[in-house]
Amino acid sequence: MIRALLAALALMMAAPVWADDSMPPAPWAYRQLPDPAQEAKAKALMETLRCLVCQSQSIADSDASIAGDMRSQVRERIAAGEDPEAIRAWLIQRYGDYVSYEPRVSAATWPLFAAPLLLVALAAFLLRKRFTSGTETEA
């Protein structure tokens, strides 16, 4: 029984070794577009999209293979004449809201935007009561 558990543990620890990324990078992952205006549009869009692996880097800065694939898709679509906002919408639909550094207000995210405002309003109300009650007792 113990040998079987140790063998299973050894196989689980060896799994990352088998996860070799042997696929070549996407065609436009590390190459710029020939048109400087299109490349500027692509670069501006890539800087607003989050790498799903690194999470603290944009796809423009990340070396993760998924970021390279996303850069390639952005450049291919920009070269085809697609609008950057349409590309952003497609990536959000494909990967979820988390991929964008510019979150949208939706039914699922509005509490995240409203909670800080409510906390500031509550703090102001409590502090106002505290300061006004302190001046009334002195008079």
**Taking all residues of the chain, what is their mean pLDDT, rounded to a whole number?**
83
| Residues spanned by the domain of 109 | 105-139
Mean per-residue pLDDT for 69-76?
A: 94
SS3 110: helix
86-125 tens-digit pLDDT: 999 999 999 888 898 887 777 877 888 889 999 999 999 8
What is the number of structural domains in the chain? 2
Instruction: State whether 88 and 111 are in the same domain.
Output: no
The answer to whether the pTM exceeds 0.75 is no
- Residues 74/42, Cβ–Cβ less than 8 Å: yes
Residue 123 backbone dihedrals phi, psi, to 5 degrees: -65, -40
Instruction: State whether 35 and 87 are in the same domain.
Output: yes
Residue of 42 and 102 predicted with greater confidence: 42
Instruction: State whether 49 and 66 are in the same domain.
Output: yes
Residue of 10 and 22 predicted with greater confidence: 10
Instruction: State whether 136 and 77 are in the same domain.
Output: no
- Residues 58/97, Cβ–Cβ less than 8 Å: no
Instruction: State whether 36 and 81 are in the same domain.
Output: yes
Domain holding 61: CATH number? 1.10.8.640
Instruction: State whether 135 and 95 are in the same domain.
Output: no
